[in-house]
Amino acid sequence: MKIGFIGAGKVGFSLGKYLQNNCSQNDVEIVGYFSKSLKSAKSAADFTSTKLYINLENILKDSDTLFLTVPDGSISQIWDYMRNLDIRNKNICHCSGSISSTAFFDAQNKGAYAYSIHPLCAINDRYEAYKNLANAVFTIEGNSEYLDSLMQIFQKCGNDIIKIDTQKKALYHASAVMASNLVTALFATSIDLLNRCGVDKKMAKNILLPLLQGNVANLATFDIKDALTGPVERNDVVTIKKHLNAFNQENLNQEKEIYKLLSQKLIEIAQSKNSLKDYSEMKEVFDSEKYSINI
C-alpha cells in the first residue's frame, strides 16, 4: 500500500513516521507529503526520508491511499477539490476523532473508498509523539472494500484497531473527551476549590495529584464498581449535604451542578456494588435544593 499524506502537522508527522518504522516495506510505503505550507511538508518529508510534493495532483497519482492529516475544518475544503480529480480506486482517509467518513460524501460515486482512522492517543509533538503510537488503540469506520486491509496494517504494527459504527462517530469522540480533556477540567476545578480554602494553587496541585493518580491506578486494576470509594459509596448522606451546603455558601453554582451530576452517576455505580444498601435518601438530596443537616 502506497500512502501519501496531505497535511504536515503533528498527526501527519507522527503517523507517517510510525508506519514507516513499524510496517514491512512489502506492506506499506510512505511516498511523501503535500501541505499548503511548503516548509511543513519539507520538514515532514525530511523527518520520514520521503518525498516533498508541491502539488496535490502528483501525490494523488503516486499513492493508492491518502491520509488527510489536516484540521477538522479543512477536511471538507480539501475534499471539495480532490473530488474533482481522478480518485478512482483510491482509499481516502482522515484522522478526525469526531468526523466520520461521510465527510467524503460522494467518494463511492467517484470510484473511491472513504474511511476515518483515529488514534486514541494524545499527539502533542511533531518529532516525538510517534513513539506513543505503539500503545495506542485505533478506531476505523468506512467502506467495507478495503476496511480489513487497512486494519491489518495497524494490527501488524502491534496495535489494536476497532471498527465503530459510522453513525456513532461523534459519540465515540465524546467518550474520549470525557476520559481525557474533561478530567483536566475536573482536576482544575478541584484545585480552584482547594485554593478557596487558602492553599496556594501549586501546592493544591501537589496535594491533589496523588489522589487522581491513585484513582487511575485503581481503575486500571479493578472493575469500576470495585474502584469506587468515598461518601457516595458509603451512603454518607450527612457528608454529601455538607458539601452541597459549602457550594451554596460560596455561591459556586456551576461547581455544585458538576458535583451533583457526577455524584448521581456514582450512585448508579454504588448500587451495583452494594445491592443491599438503600440509596433513596441520597437520591432525594440531589433532587432537592435544600440541604439541612440533622445529626
pLDDT digits (tens, 9 = 90+) for 35-63: 999 999 999 999 999 999 999 999 999 99
CATH 3.40.50.720 fits 2-167, yes or no: yes
Q: Which pLDDT score, from 0 to 100, does residue 26 have?
A: 83
Tens-place pLDDT, residues 57-94: 999 999 999 999 999 999 999 999 999 999 999 999 99
State the Cα–Cα distance between residues 225 and 272, nearest whole angstrom.
7
pLDDT exceeding 70 applies to what percent of the chain?
Answer: 98
118 Cβ contact partners less than 8 Å away, ≥ 6 residues apart: 95, 96, 97, 138, 139, 140, 173
The residue type of 75 is I
Tens-place pLDDT, residues 172-195: 999 999 999 999 999 999 999 999
Q: Which pLDDT score, from 0 to 100, does residue 291 have?
A: 53
What is this structure's pTM?
0.87
Nearest to 101 by CA among 89, 117, 85: 117
Q: What is the CATH number of domain 179-287?
A: 1.10.1040.20
Alpha-carbon distance values, 246 to 2, 256, 292 (Å): 60, 9, 12
251 Cβ contact partners less than 8 Å away, ≥ 6 residues apart: none
Helices marked H in the chain — which ranges? 10-22, 38-48, 56-62, 72-82, 147-156, 169-179, 181-196, 201-221, 224-227, 231-234, 237-249, 253-273, 280-287
List every span in the chain annotated with CATH 1.10.1040.20: 179-287
State yes or no: pLDDT of 295 exceeds 50.
no
Tens-place pLDDT, residues 118-164: 999 989 999 999 999 999 999 999 999 999 999 999 999 999 999 99
DSSP character at residue 77: H
The b-or-e profile of 180-217 (16+ CB within 10 A means b, else e) is: eeeeeeeeeebbebbeeeebeeeebbeebeeeeeeeee
- Residue 112: φ, ψ to 5°: -110, 170
Q: Is the dihedral of CA 213, 215, 220, 222 positive or negative?
A: positive
Tens-place pLDDT, residues 210-227: 999 999 999 999 999 999
Cell of 2: 502506497
List every span in the chain annotated with CATH 3.40.50.720: 2-167
